[in-house]
Structure 1
Amino acid sequence: MKQGFMKGGSCLSNLVESFENVTCAVNNGEPEDVIYLDLQKAFDKVPHQRLLHKINVQMLPGCCVFLAFCFLTHPIVTIGFLALYSVCTELMGLVGMEGLRNHKENSEGKYISPFHDIPLYAVIDKALFNMVVEVPRWTNAKMEIATNIPLNPIKQDMKNGKMRYVANIFPHKGYIWNYGALPQTWEAPCHKDPHTDCAGDNDPIDVCDIGSRVCSCGEVIQVKVLGALALIDEGEMDWKIIAINLEDPEAQLFNDIGDVRKYKPGYLEATVNWFKLYKVPDGKPENQLGFNGEFKDQNFAIEVIKSTHEYWQSLICKKIDGGGISCKNVSIDDSPFCCSQEEVESIVLSAPKYVKSSSIPDDVDMWYFLSK
């Protein structure tokens, strides 16, 4: 809508005339663009929580509620965040096709690494973290950040030449949360966890989002950390962070791990059972859990995250040998692995784009009935 107020007319008359133009265009099937200026002044006339609630119930995609919240409290910081870290997705292939690679771009269309270039901490509050969604809830394809490939695209894991899918443990279908990773973290294999005496699994730390919305592969969401579960996966330390999407309508109810038991009874017990048994259908033994399978609280989980972030900082600055991990990035200026956009574009363009279709195996839909 390109409509200025006419001199001599009241505000009401001008608004009525403007909306008349809009409604006529809509009735004729014509598109209309609306630009709101001086948003904070207008927003401050209405309670912010009411505005956020209205945005939320419209089920807008991405992190609209989070960004609106940021704008209402720190508008200048939020504008800078949008310019630097607004993330969109480019899918190169489909699930079930060999060589699926989901490369990430920023708002300027420049490629970035979801492992290294997306900040760990979300804007404003360091209790809020960015999460890269790898596997949407109720799906089976084992998608993950490829730590050994330049720019670390998200791709489907393979084993013995076959695509990997997680088994369905009755009564569940696939993953029972949105599953992903915290960027700029690293469970270092050179570090033994003081609580379990197990070395890290050489990956970013994993996150389980217990929010109600099913996210998309490659989506970046802001999450509130609630607790942690110490999974020992084939002898390696593999922390599982329990968190909730900040956009979730009930996010304000969850501030620690005890709130999950209160408001989502049975979810934590199902999570323990899932992680213990999910490899059993592949002929492997049950996974072991530290702390007798007890969940640790929010403060403990945040300390674990901080530790993995510190090891990532050493990795990206080449203070620790990362072995086969690719540390190429475009935003860490003091990293010897920081590269130009020309080099990044060359990497993406030279990546193989497979088109050979691989049918999804029938047993992906099978249920496995296992004793707890």
Structure 2
Amino acid sequence: MRFITLTSAAIGVLLLLCSCQPKEKSTFDTPPDPYSLPAMDGDFLNVIVEIPAGTNHKIEFRNDSGFTNDTVAGGDPRVINFLPYPGNYGFVPSTLMDKERGGDGDPLDVLVLSESVPTGALIAVQPIGALLLRDRGEIDTKIIAVPRDSSLRVFTVDNYLDFALKQDAARQIIETWFLNYKGPNKTELLRWEDETYAWREVRKWQKR
């Protein structure tokens, strides 16, 4: 009999992905014009989900076509050739990382660590940190957040210190995922930052 030994990181990936199953009782609104929503909802951050946790299909929102599958050369749907997204991936409305100030020309990206929610869902979240990467020479900031709704959370953390101390394996999984989902050596890790930095990034890129 052969025994297969999984590393702690692999086990963590499996547990994180298995936990990202949608709850039937949860309902979410899809706003008619996601870009027009405010970035903040009181003490929380608004996020429009493009890519649900647990999928490897790249979905993006565009003003002219709504939520559509991103495509590669030739028109085929873009599929991430790696493990599926470890959280719900989307953007902060009313933000724009304009290129004139060193951004990538898109709204601020957010990875929400939670139960899987559908494309187009509007969800209020609490930032717990930020992952800074270099992608094709540009700084690429990913806000890491948890839902305001505690019933959607996959673990109990409220800030970066909690995250690093209580769920460091999950933090390392997220880091490893973003360093590999585009292929080896495509992105470079710069550093992690805390929730204060994450909020500062939101305010920096918020449309005036």
TM-score w.r.t. structure 1 length? 0.46
Determine which structure has more spread, i.e. the larger CA radius of gyration: 1
Q: Tell whether 2:73 aligns with 1:157.
A: no
| TM-score, with structure 2 as normaliser | 0.80
User: How far is 1:295 from its partner?
Assistant: 1.4
RMSD: 2.1
1:188-337 paired onto structure 2 within 5 Å: 188-191=98-101, 199-211=102-114, 213-249=115-151, 253-280=156-183, 285-290=185-190, 294-309=191-206, 312-313=207-208
Contiguous gaps of at least 5 residues in structure 2: 1-22
- 1:265 is displaced (CA, Å) by 3.3
Counterpart selection for 2:25 from 38, 60, 71: 60
- Distance, in Å, in 2 between the alignment partners of 1:276 and 1:253 is 25
State the identity as a percent: 27
Q: C-alpha separation between the residues in 2 aligned to 1:131 and 1:300?
A: 17
Give me the whole-angstrom Cα distance separating, in 2, the residues matched to 1:235 and 1:62. 39
Distance 1:259 1:188, change over 3 A: same
Secondary structure in structure 2 of the residue aligned to 1:222: strand
Partner of 1:145: 61
Alignment correspondent of 1:119:
38
Runs ≥4 residues deviating over 6 A? none
Q: CA deviation at 1:272?
A: 1.1
Distance in 2, matches of 1:303 and 1:175, equals 25
1:64-79 correspondence runs (5 A): none
- Give SS of 2:45's match: strand
CA contact (8 A) 2:136 2:186 kept: no
Give the Å deviation of 1:153. 1.6
Offset of residue 227 of structure 1: 0.8
Would you say the 8 A contact 1:245–1:251 is kept in 2?
no
Question: CA-to-partner distance for each residue in 1:148-190, whole Å, 9 max, x for gaps?
Answer: x43x62211112122101122xxxx311111111111111111
- Number of residue-to-residue matches in the alignment: 184
The one-character-per-residue Cα deviations of 1:210-245 (angstroms, maximum 9, x if unpaired) are 12x111111110000111011211112221000001
Q: Quote the offset at 1:263 in angstroms.
A: 3.3
| Partner deviation per Cα, 1:58-100 (whole Å, 9 max, x = no partner) | 963136xxxxxxxxxxxxxxxxxxxxxxx33xxxxxxxxxxxx
Paired position in structure 2 for 1:12: none
User: Which has the larger strand fraction?
Assistant: 2
More helix by share: 1
Counterpart of 1:178 in structure 2 is: 88
Code of the aligned partner of 1:260: F
How far residue 140 of structure 1 moved from its aligned partner, in angstroms, is: 0.9
SS state at 2:173 partner: helix
Measured in 1, the distance between the counterparts of 2:71 and 2:154 equals: 35
2:14 aligns to what?
none
Taking the aligned partners of 1:214 and 1:263, their CA distance within structure 2 comes to: 22
RCO greater where, 1 or 2, for CA within 8 Å and sep 6 or more?
2
Structure 2 residue aligned with 1:132:
48
- Structure 2 vs 1, CA of residues 132 and 201 (structure 1 numbering), >3 Å: closer, same or farther? same
| In 2, Cα distance between equivalents of 1:114 and 1:177 | 20
CA deviation digits over 1:235-259, x for unaligned, max 9?
1222100000111335894221121
